[in-house]
Amino acid sequence: MELKRRLGLFTAVCVIVGDMIGTGIFGTTGFALADMGSAALVLGLWVLGGIVAISGALSYAELSSIWPEVGGEYVYLKNIFGRLPAFMTGWVSLFVGFSAAVAASALVLTGYLAEFLRNILGAESGAVILFSDPVFQKILAIAIILFFTILHIVGVRRGTIVQNILTVVKAVIVLALLVGGLVASGLVNLDRLTAGYDGLADGMLGGLGWILHPVAPTPALPQIALTLLIVMFAYSGWNAATYIAGEIRDPAKNIPRALFWSAFGTMLVYVLLNVVYLLAVPAEKLAGQQAVGAITAGALFGEGVASVFSLGIAIILLSAVSAQMFIGPRVTWAMAKDRMLFARLGTLHPRFETPHLAVGLQALIAISYILLGSAGDLMMYMGFALSVFPLLSVIGLIWLRITRPELARPWKVPLYPLFPLLYIVLTIVMMIASLMAWTTTSLTALAVLAVSVPVYFVWRWMVERNLPEKR
């Protein structure tokens, strides 16, 4: 039994936006301002991050038109470079890219709910004390995961309806802050968009103030590249629709449209939100702050609105958990179909026609991370590894153009090879910067990837010995 093509362009866009827009846009800017010491440079990095995402999206659009199948880069790497890199990307996707992300998002969500109740009811309220309790937060996070597990098992239609509703609500929240912020700011204080100041020690790089400020030191390229990498965390998820490509109707048209417009629209929203932040509050006061969105809402609309801002963030995270629980198991299902995992994981529910066992496995891994309290640490250590396989996929696109020009390509990257090369060069620069600045975490990620190599060969030996493939 195969997954059916039931999803349209709107759902594809909702899945991408649901996965992309999370807490990153509401907190990353404070650290970036502290590290760069320049409002203009930070705005430029948000634009550049969007260009990287768009370049990757356009490249994946061509790959998905060649292989419009479920699995994303797992499918691309398998067809271009073979089973080993495909297994490695599936390994990372299952244990980190989706499961750890679901666990981390669900836990952070419970924290924002506790903050919302604290703002509304006061710190001494019984409900606040309950929601602030770490054990209760874990129980609530597990309940949220179980809810979406059941939802995405009992039918693709039911799951996507809820996902679409959550994404629309998310969009309304973000656009309300954006439009309301532009109106409330009166578009005055435009000089703040180019303001420079001394970098602070509160950033993730230790402070790198420089532009338009003669006293501040000039940052090296690796420092700027590392800040771009931090910004790129907010853009992660631009490739989400490719994981469900086998379920999207008319994929040659709908997937490229979904990938491009989602990435472009998100970039536009992110840049304009940063403009709102800077118009509302001087950059030096935002620098080093994590709750940039809440600070901006308070400055523009008053403390009453700021106090409920955490509820909006919780809803935004709810959409992200749903999207990750929907798309992640598709990679596991595709791997199992190729006997790269247990064959049972490649089956569909006889009634609901969903990859129920793969959904259940991802939920089980995510819940284990919550119980162990390791999801956040795992995401930090494996962030570097998550960049490797999209990079290999885009390199593979160029390799295919050279070695297999006869392949049918219903959709091609415009201005080739500009966008693939942009993605490759900028991603490599960011990865080198990560190795230089976060050597331990980056090397740990590479070590985990290395572990997957012997696991692959042991698994292939078991398959060939006990479950020989049809030839």
Domain spans in the chain, listed from the N-terminal domain onward: 9-466
Judge whether 144 and 109 are in contact, CB under 8 Å.
yes
More confident residue, 27 or 339: 339
Q: What is the pLDDT of residue 470?
A: 44
What phi and psi values does residue 341 have, to the nearest 5 degrees?
-140, 180
Give the SS3 label for residue 6. coil
Q: What is the pLDDT of residue 199?
A: 56
Is the pLDDT assigned to residue 376 strictly greater than 80? no
Q: Is 2 exposed, middle or buried (0-12, 13-18, 19+ CB in 10 A)?
A: exposed
- Highest mean pLDDT pick, 48-57, 272-281, 300-309, 456-465: 48-57
Q: What is the pLDDT of residue 375?
A: 61
Task: For domain 9-466, say whether CATH 3.90.79.10 is its number.
Answer: no
Query: Rounded to two decimals, what is the model's pTM?
Result: 0.90
305 token code pair: 């609105």
Q: How many other C-beta atoms are found inside a 10 Å radius of the C-beta of residue 143?
A: 11
Give the pLDDT mean for 398-423. Answer: 96
CA nearest 53: which of 327, 227, 272, 264?
264
Is the pLDDT assigned to residue 209 strictly greater than 90? no
Distance CA 446, CA 381 (A): 10
Distance CA 29, CA 409 (A): 39
More confident residue, 79 or 214: 79
Q: What is the mean pLDDT of the chain?
A: 88
* Strands (DSSP E) found in 228-316: none
Q: How many other C-beta atoms are found inside a 10 Å radius of the C-beta of residue 270?
A: 27
Alpha helices in 123-250 (DSSP H): 126-132, 134-153, 156-185, 221-235
Distance CA 251, CA 235 (A): 23
More confident residue, 361 or 464: 361
CA nearest 58: which of 247, 255, 244, 267?
255
Give the SS3 label for residue 356. helix
CA dist 192 to 38, 152, 212, 300, Å?
A: 10, 45, 12, 15
